[in-house]
Structure 1
Amino acid sequence: MGLTSNKVLALAAVVAVGLFAATVWLWPRLSRRGLRPVLGRVGLLLATQLALFASVGLAANNYFLFYGSWADLFGQEQQMGVVVDHSAGGKAGKSVKVVAELKPEGVPGGGRPAAAGQVQKVLVAGEKSGITSPAYVYLPPEYFQPAYADRTFPAAVVLTGYPGTAENLLKGLKYPRTAYEQVKSGKMRPMVLVMLRPTVAPPRDTECVDIPGGPQTETFFAEDLPTAVSGAYRVGTQPRNWGFIGNSTGGYCALKIALHHPERYAAGAGLSAYYKAAEDVTTGDLFKGDRRLRDRADLLWSLDHLPQGRSSFLVTTSKQGEGNLKGTRAFIAKVKAPARVSSITLDSGGHNFTTWNREIPPALVWLSGRLSAS
Structure 2
Amino acid sequence: MGLTSDKVLALAILIAVVLFIGTVWLWPRLARQSWRAVSGRIGLLLSTQVALFACVGLAANQAFGFYASWADLFGKETGQGLVIDHAAGGTAGGPLQVASTSDVPGVSATRPQTGGQIQKVNIVGRKSRLVSPAYVYLPPEYFQPQYRTRTFPVSVVLTGYPGTARSLVDKLNYPSTAQRLAKEGRVQPMILVMLRPTVAPPRDTECVDVPGGPQAETFFAKDLPDAVRGHYRVGKRARSWGIIGDSTGGYCALKLAMHHPNVYAAGAGLSAYYKAPIDPTTGDLFHGDKKLQNRADLFWFLQHEEAPDTSLLVTSSKVGEHNYKDTLRFIDRVQATNLTRISSIILDSGGHNFNTWRREIPPTLQWISGRLSDR
Q: What do residues 187-231 of structure 1 show as CA deviations (whole Å, max 9, x unaligned)?
A: 000000000000000000000000000000000001110111011
Instruction: Report what 1:215 is aligned to.
Output: 214
Q: Distance in 2 between matches of 1:309 and 1:246?
A: 19
Report the alpha carbon displacement of residue 337 of structure 1 after superposing the two structures with TM.
2.6
Larger RCO: Structure 1 or Structure 2 (Cα < 8 Å, ≥ 6 residues apart)?
1
In the other structure, the counterpart of 2:298 is 299
Determine the C-alpha separation between the residues in 1 that align with 2:277 and 2:198: 13
What residue identity is the alignment partner of 1:105? P
Distance between the aligned counterparts of 2:213 and 2:255, measured in 1? 19
The aligned runs of 1:251-290 (5 Å cut-off) are 251-290=250-289
CA-CA distance at 1:281 after TM superposition: 0.3
Q: Superposed, which structure 2 residues align to 1:161-172 within 5 Å?
A: 161-172=160-171
**For each residue in 1:300-326, what CA deviation from the matched residue of structure 2 results, as whole angstroms up to 9, or x when unmatched?**
111111111211000000000000011
Give the match's secondary structure for 2:316. strand
Post-superposition Cα deviations, 1:204-261, rounded to whole Å, max 9, x if no partner, equal: 0000000000000000001110111011000011000100001000000000000000
Kept in 2, the 8 Å contact 1:242–1:264? The answer is yes
Question: What SS does structure 2 have at the residue aligned with 1:182?
Answer: helix
Residue 16 of structure 2 is matched in structure 1 by none
Which amino acid in 1 is paired with 2:324? L
After the TM superposition, which residues 195-234 of structure 1 pair with which residues of structure 2 at under 5 Å, given as runs? 195-234=194-233
Deviations 1:131-152, CA, capped at 9 Å, x for gaps? 1110000000000001111000
Deviations 1:93-146 (A, max 9, x none): 51100000011100120x200001000000001111111110000000000001
- Aligned equivalents of 2:289, 2:349: Cα separation in 1: 38
Q: 1:152 aligns to what?
A: 151
Opposite residue 362 of structure 1, the aligned amino acid is P
Provide the rounded CA distance (Å) in 1 between the counterparts of 2:256 and 2:171.
Answer: 24
State the Cα deviation string for residues 161-203 of structure 1 (Å, max 9, x = none). 0000101101110100110111011100000000000000000
**2:102 is matched by which residue type in structure 1?**
L
**Contact residue 124 and residue 133 of structure 1 kept, 8 A:** yes
Aligned-pair Cα RMSD in Å: 2.3
Matched residue, 2:138? 139
SS of the residue corresponding to residue 349 of structure 2 reads coil
DSSP-derived class of the 1:347 partner: strand
How many residues of Structure 1 are paired with residues of Structure 2 in the alignment?
297
**Does the Cα contact within 8 Å between 1:227 and 1:237 map onto a contact in 2?**
no
Alignment correspondent of 2:355: 354
Which residue is equivalent to 1:184? 183
1:338 CA displacement? 2.0
Deviations 1:61-112 (A, max 9, x none): xxxxx9xxxxxxxxxxxxxxxxxxxxxxx93351100000011100120x20
Match of 2:126 in 1: 127
Partner of 1:97: 97
CA–CA distance in structure 2, aligned partners of residues 234 and 308 of structure 1: 31
Confirm or deny that 1:337 pairs with 2:335.
Answer: no
Name the SS of the counterpart of 1:100 in structure 2: strand
Alpha-carbon distance between aligned partners in 2 of 1:356 and 1:150, rounded to the nearest angstrom? 34
- The alignment's TM-score, normalised by the length of structure 1, stands at 0.76
Separation in structure 1 between the aligned mates of residue 236 and residue 214 of structure 2, nearest angstrom: 25
* Contact 1:108–1:115 (8 Å) recurs in 2: no
Gaps of 5+ in 1: 1-30, 33-41, 58-65, 67-89
Q: Secondary structure at the match of 2:319?
A: coil
* Secondary structure class of the residue paired with 1:205: coil
Report the TM-score when normalising by structure 2: 0.76
Query: Secondary structure in 2 aligned to 1:326?
Result: helix
Structure 2 equivalent of residue 106 of structure 1:
106
Amino acid at match of 2:281: T
